Amino acid sequence: MLEVHDPERSLYLAVPIDAYETFFQTSLAQTSIARYHLQLIVYNPILEEIVQWIK
């Protein structure tokens, strides 16, 4: 719905660093990220900080 109401907005999927370093490195996840042009924010939930922005 955000895309319909505000098509200029960039959307990011926030992912905890542990999930990014495991699941998001698999070929299935990498293929999905590329196919759907996902943008990610990798964050550390313990330190409550953003580790990486991936466009």
Look up the CATH number of the domain holding residue 39: 3.40.1350.10
pLDDT value of residue 3: 79
Pairwise CA distance, residues 30 & 4, whole Å: 26
pLDDT value of residue 1: 81
Neighbours of 50 (CB within 10 A): 12
Any idea how long the chain is? 55
pLDDT value of residue 2: 83
| Residue numbers of the domain that contains 13 | 2-54
Instruction: Provide the domain count of the chain.
Output: 1
The residues of the chain scoring below 70 in pLDDT are none
